[in-house]
Amino acid sequence: MKKKVILILFIVSLVISSFVAYENLFISNFNSHFDSLFRISVWALTIFLLVYYLKLDGNPQLAPSSISTEKNLEENTKDKNNSNVSFDDVAGLDEIKEELHEIIDFINNSEKYKKMGAKIPKGILFYGPPGTGKTLLAKAVAGETNSFFLYSCGSEFVEKYVGVGAKRIRTLYEKAKKNAPSIIFIDELDAIGCKRNLDSNNEKDQTLNQLLVEMDGFNDNNNIVVIGATNRLDLLDEALLRPGRFDRHIFVGNPNLKAREEIFKVHIRNKPIDSSVKIKELSKKTHGFSGAQLANIANEAAILAVRNNKDKIDILDFNSAIERVVAGLEIKHPSVLEKEKKVVAIHESGHAIVGKILSVDMIQKISIIPRGQALGYVLKFPDEERYLHTRNELVNKIKVLLGGRAAEQVIFNEITTGAKDDLVKATEIADKMVCDYGMSLLGNIAIKDKYKYYNIGKIEKEIKKIIDSSYEETVNIIKENIKLLHEISSYLLEHETMDSEELENICFNIKENIFTTVT
């Protein structure tokens, strides 16, 4: 607005001075003292307005940008000041909740600790994969202590204007101090806290420095706890992690079987559930899922039940919801050619047979109905929770992934692009075997990124060896079970999906095929 007024004044002034100059040159020969003074004033005013306008224009965004972003920060934190989340809403993270009880007691009974000369831990760092409940835990700490909850995200502090990020950190702390006891939650901490020698962005450095200063500075009576969250602990600057700052590091990982059961229970609490739904079974089928995915499944199942005009959410809704989360949205009218359908049926049957023969995971469903980007898929889950894998098990996983391509090769003597994702996943496992687990001829070594660069040829050779030998064995498994392959693919072409029971029946009927290859 101000800029517009100055611009209009400048244009008016420019018109008057041009008129005055024109008169001076062509019309009159003003000599009077008054006229000269008038001309000089008009020109001076024009030049002043021009300079003032350019000054405003040269630094156009800094002031408004910082004002508006402060406003954003206010808005972002507005609704989240009083957390109504409690530990009852956080399922399955018992060890972490126990660890946090001390912090909660510190805030709730600070006098007890002060008497002993103990200081409140200033920073807690949650790290781990996305959707595992890091934000939820921070909100629960605020809820349990009736603290003021300030949510912020690391990327909100990243600006190209020097000083803006640091100012926002100061504002955040001022607000926390004013409303203490407070919990400041900084999500995506790595956006501002990454190692300074890796990223020499001056603005980021200033923001991080300001955060360190604030963490050191606030006094022990303030009752402010900062909780940071990141998916990449390895990226964070050492200074952030030293004692007195984020010195408590808590890993929040994907839930195990029991935790998944508890998370499901929390998310079906207020939903009408049919007796066909067995939470234990659902938890088994969702191995490797994050808490956020489980919450999503419960919600999707409820939506499906409403769509199908049901009174209660039944197991079919849950199964469809799992499929939707794992494989994406079902494509209602796919335009897959008949001959492509046959390739997909053979490909998926290949995965299923190798999985079944090598006993890798429990197959829940095979489908050739396109979902998301996949033309078909095999839904499977491990029959038991595992934390360690042998070399042989990893090789078997690679073989299952290569089963689709091997089946195409054996049946059509031709391969298609359908194995793209399988190849990526198989190569990833082989890469980890060589570089992380010391499971190749390169020996019992973990190869860090900086050494990978110089040894890329050797590494590729080892990865290729693992993949090639696995592929060869997979082709053999397919060849030895070709009858089973045809049975499964024919069933799929006719019915489009096959469940675990049907697969068992077909395998039982061609039992001799299975016995030929079980090792």
Q: Is 231 in the site for ligand ATP (CB under 6 A)?
A: yes
Residue 70: active-site member: no
Nearer to ligand ATP, 283 or 367 (CB): 283
119 and 170 in contact (C-beta within 8 Å)?
Answer: no
Q: Is 404 in the site for ligand ATP (CB under 6 A)?
A: no
Q: Is 132 in the site for ligand ATP (CB under 6 A)?
A: yes
Nearer to ligand ATP, 93 or 433 (CB): 93
What's the rounded Cα separation, in Å, for the pair 248 and 440? 36
Smallest separation, CB 298 to ligand ATP (Å): 9
- The one-character DSSP state at 25 is I
Task: Pick the piece of the chain touching ligand ATP (CB under 6 A) from 130-138, 349-357, 407-415, 435-443.
Answer: 130-138
What's the rounded Cα separation, in Å, for the pair 256 and 116? 38
190 and 130 in contact (C-beta within 8 Å)?
Answer: no
The catalytic residue among 159, 214, 323, 348 is 348
Smallest separation, CB 208 to ligand ATP (Å): 20
Q: Is 143 in the site for ligand ATP (CB under 6 A)?
A: no
Measure CA 11 to chain center.
Answer: 53
Q: Is 145 in the site for ligand ATP (CB under 6 A)?
A: no
Q: Which of 184, 190, 95 is nearest to 141 (CA)?
A: 184
Total interface residues for ligand ATP by CB under 6 A: 19
Q: Is 286 in the site for ligand ATP (CB under 6 A)?
A: no
Nearer to ligand ATP, 20 or 263 (CB): 263
Q: Is 76 in the site for ligand ATP (CB under 6 A)?
A: no
What's the rounded Cα separation, in Å, for the pair 202 and 173? 21
Question: Which bin fits 133, alpha (ψ -120 to 50), beta or left (φ > 0)?
Answer: left
What's the rounded Cα separation, in Å, for the pair 324 and 316? 12
Q: Is 233 in the site for ligand ATP (CB under 6 A)?
A: no
Kindly provide the residue ranges of all beta strands, DSSP E only, lying in 89-202, ordered along the sequence: 123-127, 148-153, 182-187
Please report, for residues 249, 427, 434, 440, the alpha-carbon distance to residue 465 in angstroms, rounded to integers and kept in the order given: 39, 11, 11, 9
What's the rounded Cα separation, in Å, for the pair 192 and 209? 10
* Binding residue for ligand ATP, selected from 13, 77, 133, 503, defined by CB under 6 A: 133
What's the rounded Cα separation, in Å, for the pair 285 and 79? 36
Task: Pick the piece of the chain touching ligand ATP (CB under 6 A) from 243-251, 288-296, 495-503, 509-517.
Answer: 288-296
* Binding residue for ligand ATP, selected from 6, 42, 103, 136, defined by CB under 6 A: 136
Q: Which residues, including other chains, have CB under 8 Å from residue 311's CB and lie 6 or more apart?
A: 272
Q: Is 227 in the site for ligand ATP (CB under 6 A)?
A: no
Nearer to ligand ATP, 39 or 258 (CB): 258
Q: Is 263 in the site for ligand ATP (CB under 6 A)?
A: yes
Q: Is 291 in the site for ligand ATP (CB under 6 A)?
A: yes
Nearer to ligand ATP, 85 or 353 (CB): 85
What's the rounded Cα separation, in Å, for the pair 72 and 78? 10
Residue facing ligand ATP at closest CB distance: 291
Sheet containing 182-187, strands listed edge to edge, beginning at the edge strand earlier in sequence? 148-153, 182-187, 224-230, 123-127, 246-251
What's the rounded Cα separation, in Å, for the pair 418 and 416? 5
Nearer to ligand ATP, 271 or 389 (CB): 271
Task: Pick the piece of the chain touching ligand ATP (CB under 6 A) from 19-27, 89-97, 343-351, 487-495.
Answer: 89-97
Q: Is 135 in the site for ligand ATP (CB under 6 A)?
A: yes
Residues that bind ligand ATP (CB under 6 A): 90-93, 130-136, 187, 229, 231, 263, 266, 291-292, 295
**Residue positions annotated with a catalytic role:** 348
